[in-house]
Structure 1
């Protein structure tokens, strides 16, 4: 069996890995360098932001994926010696106006959670802004160093003789199976490649490639800043008013992110830099003592309610999709890859696929 996976972000890489473990011949292609879009640009929080505000379909994927990440990190380290730095640093939600909902959700989903009053907030997070009054702390939420995870996945895939990695290989057309013809992709070079299945994991570019299917996936730009502080200065990840800080073990701190409807423009802007510097000051004022050391942007695959499309593409036999994870591409990736692989290989799905099935176009 031969499968072409289109798109080499976190979902494409993990999908290719799942399929390769079933001894399927894989060609993984990307229009640019491998793993250089939203998966690289994101922060690496292994949880949806405000998880209690998401639909059950997102929760099902995220809870499955969170349980899978420790094994994935260990397997990759044993395989290629790259440490993805999966760290259970916990996530503090500052001044949430729906803390009660968070507590109810946590109880229903067996997640540890703590209500933190003003005194304890000051004691445990002394660098918070003065108007931080209350908090909700999820101690078991982890983070992962996403660029290192992507590097580890690429290195792991290169170990398989039946996996072909093709960066700088743009797909311009996808055709489903017809009669005796297999599904196929046509490359910008003019080359046509046939396969038993095509799996589109092209993130924000998915709707372009599957235009006939009218999937409502759009690019949403996110910009990030990076600071450098002494390791351990910030004791956990912090989220307030939709913005976050992610402290790495080596003292790098990520501050993000913006939500911008700018089409496929992935450039950074001075306006967003100023906005994020102001955000950093409201989250942890001490960060502003030094200027940011880095500023970048990426394009997320936006989708309605953040529910991804995972399944067979209607009216295109042999064509499948795994895209539209929006702000949770990395969070949901192990579960998304497991589900699409089960479906493509006609195995019993490890999760109920019903909520993620792409709809036929009107």
Structure 2
């Protein structure tokens, strides 16, 4: 089977990896460099920020992926020499308005979430700022170093004889024969395949519009800042008032993020920088003396309720979607891409595909 994948972010790369491992002949296309858009810009927490606020559809993908990530990281490191750094730290939520709902969700789902006394939190996370009254903690939550994850996936694909990678190759439209998609039209000419998978993140809706279909996926801008501290400065992820701090193993601390509806504009702003710095210094006052090494923005693929579109496009044979993961693309990627591969190859799906089916959800 020849498969064209449009979009080289974490979702496109991992979809290609899953399909190629199953023996498909895969061609992955990206309008720029693979992994340089939303997948590069995110924080990489291997959990939704507030998992209890999502539907069971998001929860199902998240739980499967969380269990899968450690093995994926090890496998990619062994294959490529690039370590995605799946770093298990746990996560503290501070002063939640809906703490009772969170704990009820955890009891229902069997997740290790529990209240922690603030003196214990300060003992476990010494740089945490004062003034917080309550905390809950989930053990086992990891973060992945997302730029390294996409680099590792790209390298793994380059090593596979049944995969071709075409970067800086923008898809302009689809090649149709009646109700069937035969391939895509690019700046470099037409490319044909048995199946085409659209995994272009925030740009997926624009591409599907060329077929007269309305895909409710839109860009939602998010800005982040990055500090450099000692490697043991922050031992866990901390989250308060909608902002989080994520520790990397080498002492880099990511703080994010904004939620902005600004079209496809990715320009970092001074206003967001000051807001993020204020959040960072409130959470971890010592960051005021740390080196600020980065500030950037990315475009999340916003979708209704954050439920991705995974499966065949109704009425258009040969076209599939794996997009619209909104704020959770990295945490949902393993399950989403496994599910896509299962459906496309006619295998037993790893989870119930119905909640993600495009049928009935497109305009």
Counterparts of 1:121-140 in structure 2, within 5 Å, are 121-140=121-140
Cα pair distance change 1:119/1:145, threshold 3 Å? same
Q: Tell me, yes or no, if the aligned pair for 1:76 and 1:153 is still in contact at 8 Å.
A: yes
Contact 1:175 1:316 in 2 (8 A): no
* Partner in structure 2 of residue 146 of structure 1: 146
> Residue 181 of structure 2 contacts residue 196 of structure 2 at CA under 8 Å; is this kept in 1?
no
CA deviation profile, 1:107-143 (whole Å, cap 9, x unmatched): 2222112311232223222322221111011111011
Query: What do residues 36-62 of structure 1 show as CA deviations (whole Å, max 9, x unaligned)?
Result: 000011111000001111110000000
Q: Please say if residues 224 and 257 of structure 2, whose CA atoms lie closer than 8 Å, have aligned partners that are also in contact.
A: yes
Secondary structure, in 3 states, of the residue corresponding to 1:234?
A: coil
RMSD: 1.3
Residue aligning to 1:183: 182
Q: Please state whether the residue corresponding to 1:295 is helix, strand or coil.
A: strand
Q: Is the 8 A contact 1:177 1:318 kept in 2?
A: no
State the alpha-carbon separation in 2 of the partners of residues 126 and 132 from structure 1.
13
- Render the CA deviation track for 1:323-359: whole Å, top value 9, x for unaligned: 0000000000000000111111111111101000113
Contact 2:181 2:319 in 1 (8 A): no
- Alignment of 1:120 with 2:120, yes or no, is yes
Residue 197 (structure 1) aligns with: 195
Show the 5 A alignment for 1:241-252.
241-252=241-252
C-alpha separation in 1, matches of 2:175 and 2:332: 27
Aligned residues: 360
Whole-Å separation in 2 of the counterparts to 1:182 and 1:195: 9
**SS state at 1:213 partner:** coil
- Alpha-carbon shift at residue 176 of structure 1 (Å): 4.9
What's 1:345 paired with?
345
Deviations 1:35-91 (A, max 9, x none): 100001111100000111111000000000011111111111111121111111011
Q: Could you say which residue in structure 2 is the equivalent of 1:173?
A: 173
Structure 1, unpaired ranges of 5+ = none
- d(CA) in 1 for partners of 2:71, 2:285: 36
1:221 touches 1:265 (CA, 8 Å); kept in 2? yes
CA contact (8 A) 2:4 2:195 kept: yes
Cα gap change, 1:98/1:112 in structure 2, threshold over 3 Å: closer, same or farther? same
Equivalent position SS for 2:88: coil
Q: Is residue 267 of structure 1 aligned with residue 267 of structure 2?
A: yes
Q: 1:309, CA displacement in angstroms? A: 0.5
Following TM superposition, by how much is the alpha carbon of 1:177 offset from its aligned partner in structure 2, in angstroms? 5.1
- After superposition, give the CA deviation of every residue in 1:131-178 in whole Å (9 maximum; x if it has no partner): 111101111101111111111101100111110000000001024553
Tell me which moved more, 39-48 or 229-238: 229-238
8 Å contact 2:181–2:316 — kept in the other structure? no
Tell me whether 1:294 sits opposite 2:287 in the alignment: no
Find the aligned partners of 1:143 and 1:197 in 2 and give their Cα distance: 33
* Matching residue of 1:213: 213
Give me the whole-angstrom Cα distance separating, in 1, the residues matched to 2:133 and 2:250. Answer: 29
Q: Helix, strand or coil: the match of 1:330?
A: helix
SS at match of 1:314: coil
Given that 1:85 and 1:144 are in contact with CA atoms closer than 8 Å, whether structure 2 keeps it comes out as: yes
Structure 1 SS opposite 2:263: coil
Query: Secondary structure of 1:210's partner?
Result: helix
Mean Cα deviation higher: 82-91 or 122-131 = 122-131
The answer as to whether partners of 1:185 and 1:193 remain within 8 angstroms in 2 is: yes
Distance 2:144 2:111 in 1: 19
Which stretch shows the higher mean deviation, 87-96 or 288-297? Answer: 288-297
Q: Secondary structure at the match of 1:45?
A: coil
Secondary structure in 2 matching 1:49: coil
